[in-house]
């Protein structure tokens, strides 16, 4: 498929042989690629489109299929010959993962008897990837540029770096692409033909502004959509509702769910909450409801002596989260997710609870020493100001400190939440420094302190100026 422009030697202005340039039509290329994907179903029942931009490739799941063609080598040869008869030149790779096949097909040099085909055994997946450039991992242009500035140009150099630092330095994209290419994370092929149209539409004979008519139509559409979801055995995680007005632009709103659901009553309640805040400024002529994110419905087998309150509690929690998200908005109902970052206030981020598959909610970095981290971490460290007797510095002995590293002065008394605290014991320091890639480096010595009242806090001293801060509490 053309990447920028298609060139053809055709007649122009009555002069045969003149060069005529046709502009690139991305939509036409996409439609042609979809037709080619349907044609390739003779080689695999699951054929999908390459999601990279510009889309110029096909993905085929040949699990259990190659034996019907005499093996993977014979299948590759038959595919190349068939595509050549359609006047197409292809580069083909067979590997255990989509990421590895994509990388090898785009960046490796053909070395097999198939000419343009690469056959990668499962045990050689990482070896086939190591010498390829980082672009082969399907990374964004911004990430590739940043890696180039750091002198990382091959996948082998990237794999040699510790995983804990990659996420904090480069974000989640790099680790996700590495895991997809090596098979640590599953990446299924999204078949062209297998994607059902989970959408219901209603064209009104006469446009209306009456809310009761709009609600009636939307409720009917949701019931139709719920029937489609049940037939497919999946539930909606996100609904997109669209109201086309007779004059002006369309009105759209989305509804996210905590767990996949095909219950029309529950879906309608969530949509109705959003609809209460919607005020069409013109008559509505068309309405549509579409499931933009889905997941398999969860079917749990009942146990004979199981506690029924536990299953009911999970359902009630999902209903509560859905209603809060629909009423307050998805970004207002969040959950913390741990992030591998040395700076404590950046070691977690908040993500919406709804609109995301439950299989992606788990995981994250673990805490190696939870007893040394406070139960409550302040969003921002609170400075303990010297003025106004906010805290008193006294000379600290070297005995209580680990590794016999004393600090010249230590707070013997400080005020927090308008309550004075007298330091009775303390442990530390634990030095935390951010990496060189941060624009402004952070260097801190953290101490665990216990007051005369038994309260325990997490204090740190900023090393560049000696300022003291309170960052958390252990209770």
Query: What pLDDT score was predicted for residue 424?
Result: 87
Same domain? 162 vs 253: no
Same domain? 295 vs 252: yes
CATH number at residue 215: 3.30.1490.100
Residue 349 lies in a domain: no
Same domain? 93 vs 212: no
Query: What pLDDT score was predicted for residue 187?
Result: 86
Give me the sign of the Cα torsion angle 143, 144, 146, 152: positive
Same domain? 164 vs 281: no
Query: What pLDDT score was predicted for residue 58?
Result: 92
Query: Residue holding tokens 């931009």?
Result: 53
CA distance linking residue 255 with residue 329, whole number of Å? 9
Q: Where are the beta strands (DSSP E) in 314-370?
A: 334-338, 348-352
Same domain? 104 vs 222: no
pLDDT in tens, 18-38: 677 878 787 888 888 888 988
Same domain? 323 vs 388: no
Residue 425 lies in a domain: yes
Residue 188 lies in a domain: no
Provide the token pair at 347: 């070691």
Which of 182, 208, 243 delimits the end of a domain? Answer: 182
Which of 182, 209, 234 delimits the end of a domain? Answer: 182
**Burial (CB count within 10 angstroms: exposed 0-12, middle 13-18, buried 19+), residue 408:** exposed
From the list 201, 202, 199, 204, the residue with the least C-alpha distance to 282 is 204
Residue 437 lies in a domain: yes
Which of 123, 155, 182 delimits the end of a domain? Answer: 182
Same domain? 284 vs 213: yes
CA distance linking residue 405 with residue 402, whole number of Å? 6
Cβ atoms 9, 16 nearer than 8 A:
no
Residue 312 lies in a domain: yes
Same domain? 178 vs 307: no
Same domain? 55 vs 168: yes
Query: What pLDDT score was predicted for residue 163?
Result: 81
* Structural domain boundaries enclosing 405: 370-473
Same domain? 57 vs 158: yes
Look at the chain and report how many structural domains it folds into: 3
CA end-to-end distance (rounded Å), the chain:
62
Residue 363 lies in a domain: no
Give the max Cα distance, the chain: 98
Give every residue of the chain whose pLDDT is below 70, as ranges: 1-18, 110-116, 193-196, 299-313, 355-371, 385-409, 436-439
Task: Note the pTM of the prediction, 2 decimals.
Answer: 0.54
Residues pairing with 338 in the sheet: 348
Residue 114 lies in a domain: yes
Cβ atoms 474, 457 nearer than 8 A:
yes
Query: What pLDDT score was predicted for residue 378?
Result: 87
Provide the token pair at 36: 């080619």
Same domain? 167 vs 80: yes
Query: What pLDDT score was predicted for residue 181?
Result: 92
């Amino acid at each position: 498929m053309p990447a920028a422009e298609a060139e053809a030697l055709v007649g122009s202005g009555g002069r045969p042989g003149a060069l005529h340039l046709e502009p690139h039509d991305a939509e036409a290329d996409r439609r042609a690629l979809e037709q080619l994907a349907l044609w390739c179903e003779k080689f695999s029942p699951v054929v999908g489109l390459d999601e990279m931009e510009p889309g110029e490739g096909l993905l085929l799941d040949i699990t259990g299929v190659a034996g019907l063609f005499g093996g993977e080598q014979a299948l590759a040869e038959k595919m190349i010959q068939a595509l050549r008869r359609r006047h197409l030149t292809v580069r083909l790779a067979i590997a255990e993962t989509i990421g590895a096949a994509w990388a090898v097909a785009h960046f490796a040099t053909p070395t097999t008897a198939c000419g343009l085909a690469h056959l990668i055994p499962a045990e050689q997946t990482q070896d086939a990837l190591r010498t390829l450039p980082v672009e082969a991992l399907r990374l964004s242009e911004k990430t590739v540029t940043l890696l180039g500035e750091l002198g990382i140009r091959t996948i082998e150099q990237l794999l040699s770096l510790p995983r804990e630092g990659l996420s904090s330095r480069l974000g989640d994209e790099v680790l996700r692409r590495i895991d997809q290419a090596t098979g640590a994370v599953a990446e299924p092929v999204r078949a062209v033909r297998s994607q059902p149209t989970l959408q219901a539409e209603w064209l009104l004979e006469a446009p209306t502004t009456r809310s009761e008519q709009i609600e009636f139509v939307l409720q009917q559409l949701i019931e139709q959509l719920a029937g489609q979801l049940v037939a497919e055995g999946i539930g909606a995680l996100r609904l997109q509702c669209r109201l086309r007005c007779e004059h002006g632009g369309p009105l759209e709103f989305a509804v996210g769910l905590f767990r996949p659901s095909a219950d029309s009553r529950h879906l309608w309640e969530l949509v109705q909450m959003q609809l209460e805040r919607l005020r069409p400024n013109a008559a509505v002529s068309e309405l549509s409801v579409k499931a933009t994110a889905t997941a398999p419905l969860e079917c749990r087998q009942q146990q004979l002596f199981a506690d029924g309150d536990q299953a009911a509690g999970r359902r009630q929690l999902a209903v509560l989260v859905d209603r809060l998200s629909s009423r307050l908005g998805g970004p207002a109902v969040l959950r913390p997710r741990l992030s591998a970052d040395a700076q404590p206030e950046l070691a977690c981020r908040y993500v919406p609870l709804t609109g995301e598959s439950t299989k992606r909610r788990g995981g994250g970095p673990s805490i190696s020493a939870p007893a040394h981290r406070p139960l409550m971490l302040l969003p921002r460290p609170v400075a303990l100001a010297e003025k106004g007797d906010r805290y008193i510095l006294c000379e600290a002995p070297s005995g209580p400190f680990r590794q016999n590293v004393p600090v010249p002065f230590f707070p013997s008394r400080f005020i927090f939440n308008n309550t004075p605290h007298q330091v009775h014991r303390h442990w530390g320091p634990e030095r935390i420094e951010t990496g060189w890639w941060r624009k402004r480096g952070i260097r801190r010595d953290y101490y665990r302190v216990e007051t005369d009242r038994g309260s325990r806090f997490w204090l740190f001293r900023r090393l560049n100026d000696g300022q003291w801060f309170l960052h958390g509490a252990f209770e």
